[in-house]
Amino acid sequence: MPTLYKRGILIVADSLMLIFALWLSFSLRLESWYWPVGGENNAIALLMLFAPVLAVPVFIQFGLYRVIIRYLGVKAFLSVFKAVIIYSAAWGLLVFISGVQGVPRSVVPINAMVALFTIGGLRVLARWLLRKIEDVKRAKKHHFGFDMGFIKHRPAKVVIFGAGEAGRQLAVGLGQSHQCILLAFVDDDFNLQGRDLMGVPILSQAKLVEFVSQHQVDDILLAIPSISRKQRNKIIEGLRPLNKHIRTLPGLANMARGQSDYSQLNELDINDLLAREPSVADEALLQSQVRDQVVLVTGAGGSIGSELCRQVLQRKPKILLLFDQSEIALYTLNNELQKILYQLSQAESVGFSGEQNQDNASKNNLGNINLMPRIVPLLGSVTDEKRVRDVISTWRPSIIYHAAAIKHVPIVEKNIAECVKTNIFGTLVMVKVAIEWQVDRFVLVSTDKAVKPTNAMGASKRCCELILQALAAEVQPAFGPLLSGQQSVRTEHKTQLSMVRFGNVLGSSGSVVPYFRNQIKQGGPITLTHKDVVRYFMTIPEAAQLVLQTGAMAGQELRDTIEEKCAEVYVLDMGEPVKIYDLARRMVELSGLRVKDDDFPSGDIAIKVIGLRPGEKLYEELIIGNNLQKTQHTRIMKAREEYLPWDELTPWLSSLKAAAENSDVLMIRTLFKNLIPEYIPEKKVADLIYNEQRNNKDKFDQKKFQVPHF
């Protein structure tokens, strides 16, 4: 129905309700059914009929005909109250001015109360009817099969954990949705337990098990944003045995406006799945590293690189250089960072304007916004020395975060030569140009797979570490003809080299968490490479903060001798490693499902072991040996590990370069083994080109010696 028609119907209904309210007010006051003597010729009857003419303009002014009835809220009813009171007062004033006899004064307040009841009640009734009609339509839609899939045919029964302000706001937001029924709140505050909130009981966690079973609760919604991570993890662990889907707060403002609904509640945070306390950043270290500096991030479009860029931008560098060879990744990241930059400039403008007088606000705001960071997106490969030199010589960054790498173990194992070119010689190009242009600091993003590597990715990252360790101990390292093919030139460098090594990053591309979530949504099974695989885990923000902080710590360390100048490997105290099988079970149970196994064959999601992938090992380590030292950050440590001097390392690198350019996979593996004694590759070579060429050679040899038949 067109909006104009709906407003017309509402105006007519209000008019009738107002006349009815006046008639009822007279009847209540006179204690008998009242009817004006003389009908429409009676002055009182005319006043009754005139009431809509007086009220409708007031109602229009207060927006009573702009409100969407089915989404009426507290603010809308407040508008109804104000409009009715003003109309009633105006009608009473009209009676007084007109001098009509026979109108008791008490009719005016009675009329106000009755009109408020009828006008407000009319809207409540309309809202209820409209919602019922929607429910019937939705039920018919499901019944006739127009909306198939994993959709419940009944509203979900939910419990909100947390009866504080966040829980109340969530309940109000859910009230706008027709997809759920709120059955109870749960709270650990003894003063709240046993009481009612918004018409539903507040339970203790001890009584939740029985309540969930009796009322067939579907979901538990967490509304406890103010508690610590440790307390939150304890609560989640207590909820796991219930096997109910646990979700967290959405954007409350959006829910209250009807822009988000129950189906858009968020899955549990990655930190909840990790079940450990994340490390706390040292803000002073982060600020000292990048504020008002020119910062270059390679691999900026990747998981770690993009988070580095976000955190660097929040701390207001002078210029942020984004370097990546992926056009779409660079485009996406640049758009995101520009939005962040706009928000920062708006916040600065508001804060700065509050401190200045009105006359100088505009001028000062303009100057303040000009101090905002500049973002420069740059396409290019880290293996292209000319491009890298052009970038560094043009903007002269004071710090480089080198996150560019080929990192997916199975893919790398099948493309070993490209891994050597990008990971090893891309790093060598970056650090060479950084030293030549005297960049203050260079931070390499490494991995725990570099410790006792069993795959090409880990071995390549260990080679990158060896390069930095060797160069850090050299006063005048010689690079040519290693890269440029020209005669060796020794360059004095003042660049502070450091590297940071951490475990698997939850939420990154290729991470098990989104992979498992997708498998759970599809109904399983969850595929594991091995039941006993364990990994160290951290979140992307933690990893980025670790990189930023270690770069700052490396720059603050003083060394008096060449021996002390070797580059340390920084590692994060990541607690106990996580068993991947346990993580998978946790994700299934917190999704409200049961694991299908021998103990529970009727479960929902099976966990299937498919075998280790090429180059994968059961467990990872963070250091070689036990030589760990403390740093100024309680969760960050450093290790000094053995390395080859630069003059001894360069012949090995020259051989690796030649082998990579010739795609000689067997030679690369042999050189890795000689260069990294801990490297233990799988016997079977997984490289795609190597295997394809060998198969073609076998076919060719068979055809060559086959006797033709005539």
Position 140 scores a pLDDT of: 54
* Exposure string over 611-645, b if 16+ CB within 10 A, otherwise e: eeebbbbeebbbbbeeeeeebebebbbbbbbebee
Tens-digit pLDDT profile for residues 303-316: 889 999 999 998 89
Position 258 scores a pLDDT of: 45
CB 544 within 8 A of CB 307: yes
What is the distance between the alpha carbons of residues 204 and 225, in angstroms, rounded to a whole number? 18
pLDDT, mean of residues 414-440: 94
Please return the burial class of 350, using the count of CB atoms within 10 Å of its CB with bins 0-12, 13-18 and 19+.
Answer: exposed
Give percent of the chain with pLDDT exceeding 70: 74
150 or 422, which is more confident?
Answer: 422
Q: What is the DSSP string of 690-704?
A: HHHHHHHHHHHHHHH
71 confidence band (pLDDT: 50, 70, 90) = low
329 confidence band (pLDDT: 50, 70, 90) = very high
Tens-digit pLDDT profile for residues 342-394: 888 877 666 555 555 444 544 444 444 457 899 999 999 999 999 999 999 99
621 or 396, which is more confident?
Answer: 396
Position 367 scores a pLDDT of: 43
Position 152 scores a pLDDT of: 44
What is the distance between the alpha carbons of residues 185 and 171, in angstroms, rounded to a whole number? 9
Q: Per-residue pLDDT for 317 more than 80?
A: yes
Q: Per-residue pLDDT for 266 more than 80?
A: no
Residues 537, 541, 545, 547, CA torsion sign: positive
Torsion over CA of 571, 576, 582 and 586, rounded to 10 degrees?
A: -80
Q: Per-residue pLDDT for 102 more than 80?
A: no
Position 614 scores a pLDDT of: 62
399 or 79, which is more confident?
Answer: 399
SS3 category, 495: coil
In the chain, residues under CATH classification 3.40.50.720 are 156-268, 283-325+380-675
Tens-digit pLDDT profile for residues 517-557: 788 878 878 888 888 777 767 777 877 887 888 777 765 55
CB 478 within 8 A of CB 490: yes
Tell me how far apart the terminal alpha carbons of the chain are, to the nearest angstrom. Answer: 86
Position 154 scores a pLDDT of: 63
Domain 283-325+380-675 has CATH 3.40.50.300: no
Residue 472's Cα: distance from chain center in Å?
37
393 or 109, which is more confident?
Answer: 393
pLDDT, mean of residues 34-48: 70
Q: Per-residue pLDDT for 148 more than 50?
A: no
- Ranking 204-208, 592-596, 673-677 by mean pLDDT, the lowest is 592-596
Interacting residues of 47 by C-beta distance below 8 A, sequence separation 6+: 22, 91, 94, 95, 98, 100, 103
What is the distance between the alpha carbons of residues 535 and 569, in angstroms, rounded to a whole number? 19
Position 457 scores a pLDDT of: 92
Options 3.40.50.720, 3.40.190.10, 3.20.20.70, 3.40.1080.10; CATH of 156-268: 3.40.50.720
- Ranking 150-154, 296-300, 429-433, 543-547 by mean pLDDT, the lowest is 150-154
Q: What is the DSSP string of 522-558?
A: TT-PEEES-TT-EE-EEEHHHHHHHHHHHHHHHHH--
175 or 104, which is more confident?
Answer: 104
Position 275 scores a pLDDT of: 56
Give percent of the chain with pLDDT exceeding 90: 20
What is the distance between the alpha carbons of residues 432 and 466, in angstroms, rounded to a whole number? 14
Q: What is the DSSP string of 574-600?
A: --S-EEHHHHHHHHHHHBT--EESSS-
CB 435 within 8 A of CB 468: no
Tens-digit pLDDT profile for residues 234-252: 787 788 778 788 877 654 4
Report CA-CA distances (Å) from 421 to 64, 81, 307, 381: 69, 74, 25, 11
What is the distance between the alpha carbons of residues 270 and 539, in angstroms, rounded to a whole number? 7
Return the CA Rg of the chain: 35
137 or 529, which is more confident?
Answer: 529
Q: Per-residue pLDDT for 459 more than 80?
A: yes
705 confidence band (pLDDT: 50, 70, 90) = very low
Q: Per-residue pLDDT for 325 more than 80?
A: yes
Tell whether pTM > 0.75.
Answer: no
Q: Per-residue pLDDT for 143 more than 50?
A: no
Residue count (the chain): 710
CB 329 within 8 A of CB 301: yes
Position 567 scores a pLDDT of: 65
